[in-house]
Amino acid sequence: MTQAIRVERKSGAALLPFIPELARLRIEVFRDFPYLYDGTLDYEKKYLQTYIDHPDSVIVLAFDDDKIVGASTAIPMKFETDELKKPFIDNAYAVDEVFYCSESVLNKAYRGLGLGVRFFEEREAHAAELGGFKHLTFCCVERPVDHPRRPNDYMPLDKFWNKRGYFKHPELKTSYVWKDLDETEETAKPMTFWLKHAH
């Protein structure tokens, strides 16, 4: 690992060359608790196509030399799925004014170097450049504290998110379907949104 980690923002079709490597990284990171995601390259490539199709999207990439070691995705909420938009519509938010900071993934060897903060800064800067957003949001899976696959040393990111200005909104909930590592078929997972008011 070198100390010179390069961080770049990519949007739309500029993402195409990075999709295979990015899909592999997402599968690797999301296998860990709390997601326990048993993903496939085909699904990941289809999922990431949304970001290629919409030029207002952004993926922040972290490189060590030419290797992608981290990535963070974001897109205006209006381009997202109905499942994602519904809680906001039901709670009288204007979807056009919400920017969705969907996910961040980072290779374990590169954690603790400030890249998580940088990912938020870059996505928020992109939203500010687009303009018109009153809220920034992301959602996180809810797992019970006694979940059998919860590591003893697991530390939730709640304090980190609070420090970045994001707070949990229990009234904003949805669910996503995927297959956990120990499941034979997909099941719905509860997700709760965290919200920050844009400056």
Are the C-beta atoms of residues 70 and 119 closer than 8 Å to each other?
A: yes
Q: What is the pLDDT of residue 159?
A: 95
Does the pLDDT of residue 56 top 50, yes or no? yes
Buried b (16+ CB within 10 A) or exposed e, 147-185: eeeeeeeeeeeeeebeebebeebeebebebebebeeeee
87: containing domain? 5-197
Distance of alpha carbon 50 from alpha carbon 81, whole angstroms: 10
Number of folded domains that form the chain: 1
Q: What is the mean pLDDT of residues 31-60?
A: 87
Percent of the chain past pLDDT 70, that is, above it, reads 98
Q: What is the CATH number of the domain that holds 13?
A: 3.40.630.30
Q: What is the pLDDT of residues 72-130, one digit of tens each?
A: 999 999 999 999 999 999 999 999 999 999 999 999 999 999 999 999 999 999 999 99
Q: Which residues contact 85 (CB under 8 A, 6 or more apart)?
A: 77, 78, 95
Distance of alpha carbon 61 from alpha carbon 153, whole angstroms: 28
φ, ψ of residue 50 to 5 degrees: the values are -55, -40
Q: What is the mean pLDDT of residues 156-177?
A: 94
Angle between helices 41-53 and 19-30 (to 10 degrees): 120
Does the pLDDT of residue 2 top 90, yes or no? no
Q: What is the pLDDT of residue 162?
A: 97
Distance of alpha carbon 117 from alpha carbon 46, whole angstroms: 27
Amino acid code (one letter) for 27: I
Q: What is the pLDDT of residue 89?
A: 98
Nearest CA-CA partner of 81 in 22, 139, 18, 5: 139
Q: What is the pLDDT of residue 3?
A: 62
| Mean pLDDT, the chain, integer | 91
DSSP state of 154: -
- pTM exceeds cut of 0.75: yes
Are the C-beta atoms of residues 33 and 152 closer than 8 Å to each other?
A: no
pLDDT-derived band at 186 (thresholds 50, 70, 90) equals confident
DSSP, collapsed to helix, strand or coil, labels residue 83 as helix
Q: What is the mean pLDDT of residues 3-21?
A: 91
Are the C-beta atoms of residues 193 and 169 closer than 8 Å to each other?
A: yes
Which residue is it, tokens 């997909």? Answer: 186
Query: How many CB atoms neighbour CB 107 within 10 A?
Result: 18
Q: What is the pLDDT of residues 21-43, one digit of tens each?
A: 999 998 888 888 777 888 888 88
Amino acid code (one letter) for 135: H
Q: 39 versus 135: which is more confidently predicted?
A: 135
